[in-house]
Structures are given as structure tokens and as C-alpha cells.
Amino acid sequence: PPLYWVDETGKEQGFEYELAHLIAKELGIPKVEWVEDDYDKLPTLAKEGKTDIFMAGYIPDSSVDGITWSKSYLD
């Protein structure tokens, strides 16, 4: 909390959870599936097509080729 957590009933909640669903809805994507992995593996997962977006405070790193970075949504 407050970015992402699973509550005592098993319901996913949080700012990033809601933001991911809003982005998907805007893009016409009907389902959001969360994939968890080590922080340093996230760019590789995206380049391999195993994920489309990664969140959770990842700091943009221009040395990582093949990734389009957004501006911070927490600012």
C-alpha cells in the first residue's frame, strides 16, 4: 500500500492497480494480468513480449535499449 496490495479478502487494490486498469480501458484492452518478477528483469520481459508495461516505481534508464519510457506518474 498504497500503490498495490491484496487485501484480506484477496481483492487487488491500490493506485497502480487502478491506473493499469484505466490505461487498459483507454486502449480497449479487456483484461489486465499482473506479472511479478525481479526488478532488473522487467525490461527483458517487455522486450520479449511477456509484458506490455511495468510499474512500481521503476526508474527510467536510457541505457536500456528497446524500451520507451514515460514520464513519472507519481509526480
pLDDT digits (tens, 9 = 90+) for 12-44: 999 999 999 999 999 999 999 888 888 889 889
- How would you class 7 by CB atoms within 10 Å of its CB: exposed for 0-12, middle for 13-18, buried for 19 or more? exposed
Q: Look at residue 30 in the predicted model and tell me its pLDDT.
A: 93
Tell me: the pLDDT tens digits for 42-69?
A: 889 989 988 888 887 778 888 889 898 8
User: Per-residue DSSP letters for 8-40?
Assistant: TTS-EESHHHHHHHHHHHHHT----------GG
Q: What is the pTM of this model?
A: 0.74
Alpha-carbon dihedral sign for residues 59, 73, 69, 56? positive
